[in-house]
Amino acid sequence: MGIPSRMMWFAFSAIALGMLLSPVARAAPPASGISAKRVATPDIKAMLGEVYASKKPVGFEQLDVTPIVSRYLPVGLSRAQVLAAFKGIDSAHVVEQASGALIVRDDRGRAMFDPDARSILMTFRFDGAGMLTGVQAIHMKNQ
C-alpha cells in the first residue's frame, strides 16, 4: 500500500468514525439526490406487517397509519425508490400514477370470503424533481 492510499484510508476511517459518533449525522435526511440514491430499499413487508398488526378498523372506520408508513418511506426518497420498494409485493398495486402523486393500495384478504379482509391506501406526493414530499396512509376494512 503506497503513501497516498494509506492517507486516504486514514481520512476515510476518521470520517466514518466521526459519522458513527455524531447523532446529528445519523439523524439528518439526505441533502441531495446523489446521497438519496444510496438509501437502502425499505422493508415494505415489515411495514405492511406492522400496519396489519396495529389496531383493526371496525365497520367503515379509517385509521390513520401515516406515521408507520412515513418511517419506512421517509420524505426525500425518489419516485423510482418508492415504486421499487413495492416490487415483489403481490398484494400491493398502483391505483393511480400522476405526475405529482402516486396512490398504492395493499389488500389483505378478499372482502366476501375473509372476515378479516383489510386494506391500506397510501398516497405519496412528489415535487417537480420527483422527490417524495408527503405521505398519507389509511388502514380500512376491505368492503
Q: pLDDT tens-digit profile of 49-80?
A: 999 999 988 888 999 999 999 999 999 999 99
d(CA 65, CA 53): 11
User: Which is more confidently placed, 2 or 143?
Assistant: 143
Handedness of CA 66, 70, 72, 78 (dihedral sign): positive
**Cell numbers given for 111:** 372482502
Please tell me the predicted confidence (pLDDT) of residue 3. Answer: 53
For residue 131, how far is the Cα from the chain centroid? 12
Q: Which residue has the cell 492517507?
A: 7
What are the counts of helices (DSSP H) followed by strands (DSSP E) for the chain? 6, 5
Q: Looking at per-residue confidence, does 122 or 26 come out higher?
A: 122
43 pLDDT above the threshold of 80: yes
Q: What are phi and psi of 122, to 5 degrees?
A: -120, 130
Q: Taking the model in full, what pTM does it have? A: 0.68
Cβ–Cβ under 8 Å, residues 136 and 122: yes
* pLDDT tens readout for residues 75-122: 999 999 999 999 989 989 999 998 899 999 998 876 666 677 899 999
